[in-house]
Structure 1
């Protein structure tokens, strides 16, 4: 029942207040292949694209009150984190099956003799950064390539960053253009906009899992005992693990870290293919929007199998809201979705 189910912890519910925007500036470092994003003079995130990373990402992502919400592994060692899925790093956009190549699961962990089955997003070029009082813009281009360097897709992405005293917002607009060959996106589970989050936003569980400390020592402990307290809420009022594989125009993952409420919300755009998206929303910290995996999520009742002819383009738009000290209400996210649809 749409939006009838509200957050149950009253102290988390926020009042609708129009907070003042904070200025956005960028600090570029071409040698390190990174651009630091500053909001209100504080580090929010960095756009990084080193040669040894299989895709460009935003990492780390930090709330307005200074809490890091992204998992550290594999780039940093942090106490009590899982070290699964080394391809889950920061905030990214790619897909599991592009002309048979797996862009999603590619990482340093893939053996050399199997790398030919995986795609890379390479030749990243930061084209423009634009500081602003109310928002800041960063645009880049990149190639979706096979291991031999053949380009399947040209990517053009623009980020619009903004923030207030208790929130940070990323609008991502990505256009993919097929090159010499037709490009086929087979319906698959792993895609498309993804973020891997801090252990506190995992789901509480008594199941014993393996976690590591910052020295690499592995300890077996339950997720609940490790601080996990996350929960999902979708635009359709679906919560918890039931959110996975359902459609909605937004989904929020919320919880507490160090006694403070925080949340990450992803908003789909009504002009995106496959709208409203399916949520590839897991209980262990992977939070993703996948509009292209329809056959998987619908148990074969729907198919999309997106195809681009040479020269044809498609655009994906997403809004990501990181809130701290409060958790947005469903009606506030509805309004955000309405506002974003005009972009």
Structure 2
């Protein structure tokens, strides 16, 4: 029986990896500061970096069956969504404490007299967009700056996009280089690769929260009554709300949306600092990997407090997998992690 189960898992993984890949194409709109990513002729996501956002993001993100994975607020509020945390937009990467500046929580909601305590990722430049039959590549550079436009870090990021009829993959490789000053990343809670998700991927609860109605008015209902049915699973076998603040190579969030399975997995890379990462995985739709918050998540038993001296660089690699139609099991994700570790 055990051999049959292993064979089944291996076959499922083989089908997943060897499934017919679909062509990736891009529509670049420099005037709108956006690059649309299409897979198999369908909109997958858009890389956006408008002046009114404090960071570049991938937004929205759609599953292969066309279902929205990401929350709409604050850029496009949809009925039944929470309207908290306006800095949670699509998929992004930044951090709460970089030389004392808060990049994570910066948004339009911060009063002008307090903005000096926050950081921006600005001067985004799309360096290259390359299409191919099986994969698309988008590379950009950007500056991590304070309010006075002093550059603390130079960012260089490459996205590798791919997909099949039922899955979508994003490999993100980000290198941060300290410029004139030594840069210190204090161990804190809010970081680093973040994703804010549709209401169905929240956890079911009877707690009354604030959501929007069809007219955009804020109403109070329970998450369960709003369609929430999400659940987490990690590579260690940890499930549910207990995933928050634990280490694992990968973490899966899955649910049903409109009667169909939908899921998203994040995979850490063994060369990343703090591997395997801690998961800042919340029940209200925030899904994040934070390898730098060790003192917080370990209750003081561990410390990292990453430091980059001028000219020093560090690289972060993550894989994000969006599935619709079927939810990958642990064996499939273990093999995906093994495959990604070789990249």
TM-score > 0.5, shorter chain as reference: yes
Decide which structure has greater helix share. Answer: 2
Kindly indicate whether the alpha-carbon contact (under 8 Å) linking 1:123 and 1:143 is maintained by their aligned counterparts in 2: yes
Shift, 1:214, TM fit:
4.3
1:111 alignment counterpart: 111
Q: 1:64-106: per-residue Cα shift (whole Å, max 9, x none)?
A: 0000010000000100000000000100000000000000000
Gapped runs of 5+ residues in structure 1?
1-5, 7-13
1:68 alignment counterpart: 68
Shift, 1:215, TM fit:
2.7
CA distance in 1, matches of 2:145, 2:219: 38
Does residue 209 (structure 1) correspond to residue 206 (structure 2)? The answer is no
Q: Give the TM-score of the pair, scaled to structure 1.
A: 0.96
CA distance in 1, matches of 2:41, 2:137: 16
Give the alignment of 1:42-57 within 5 angstroms. 42-57=42-57
CA distance in 2, matches of 1:276, 1:15: 25
Shift, 1:213, TM fit:
2.2
2:276 alignment counterpart: 276
Give the alignment of 1:21-100 within 5 angstroms. 21-100=21-100
Shift, 1:219, TM fit:
1.3
1:15 alignment counterpart: 12
Shift, 1:218, TM fit:
1.3
1:11 alignment counterpart: none
Kindly indicate whether the alpha-carbon contact (under 8 Å) linking 2:12 and 2:332 is maintained by their aligned counterparts in 1: no
2:8 alignment counterpart: none
SS of the aligned residue for 2:98 comes to coil
Q: What is the alpha-carbon root mean square deviation over aligned residues?
A: 1.0
2:295 alignment counterpart: 295
SS of the aligned residue for 2:115 comes to helix
Q: Give the TM-score of the pair, scaled to structure 2.
A: 0.96
Q: 1:253-292: per-residue Cα shift (whole Å, max 9, x none)?
A: 0001000001000000000000000000000000000000
CA distance in 2, matches of 1:197, 1:164: 21
Matched length: 331
Shift, 1:26, TM fit:
0.5
1:214–1:180 CA distance, 2 compared to 1 (3 A): farther
SS of the aligned residue for 2:337 comes to helix
1:266 alignment counterpart: 266
Gapped runs of 5+ residues in structure 2?
6-10
